[in-house]
Amino acid sequence: MIANPTPITAATFAGMWITNLGIFLPTSEKPRGFLAGNLLPYDGTHLLAIGGVRVNVMDLASKRTTDTMLDGVLTNLTNECKRQASNTSEVKFVNVSAHDSTKPVFAQIGFTDGNFHRIPDCFALAETDSVFSGVLMATMAEVARQAGLAVS
């Protein structure tokens, strides 16, 4: 047997990466709303294709009345979406796509007035906007909590 001087070592996938997230807020058209997303194990560079966790929170309207942490995060998220878009209409949905950890995290916000706002790179914006950064971090932590994961 020939010993390999640089053996292959497996990375520790100790974190989770939110690959996609959809938050559909309660509106007069759809009074219940929901939150759904997928998380994959993450080592800081790579995503692991197995061992994912799915989060589903149905009937956000009812859940917000009993879960003050979720309610606070959604309130702050709604206010930040309005600020980013300079739009006073109600937020209808927030969709986030991050299927590849090496590419920008893209977000799209829809409003009840029919307008949309796009954020092409959430982490780049978070580097220059501390309010956005705080809301982004709190939202990611809340998604992890809703998925039953420990947040460190």
Over residues 90-136, the pLDDT tens digits come to 999 999 999 999 999 999 999 999 999 999 999 999 999 999 999 99
> How high is the pLDDT of residue 80?
98
**Percent of the chain scoring above 70 in pLDDT:** 97
> How high is the pLDDT of residue 1?
67
Confidence of residue 58 (pLDDT cuts 50, 70, 90): very high
**Which range among 9-13, 21-25, 37-41, 134-138 shows the weakest confidence by mean pLDDT?**
9-13
Please say if the pLDDT value at position 47 is more than 70.
yes
- For range 79-85, the mean pLDDT: 98
Measured distance CA(29)–CA(92) in Å, rounded: 10
The answer to pTM > 0.75 is: yes
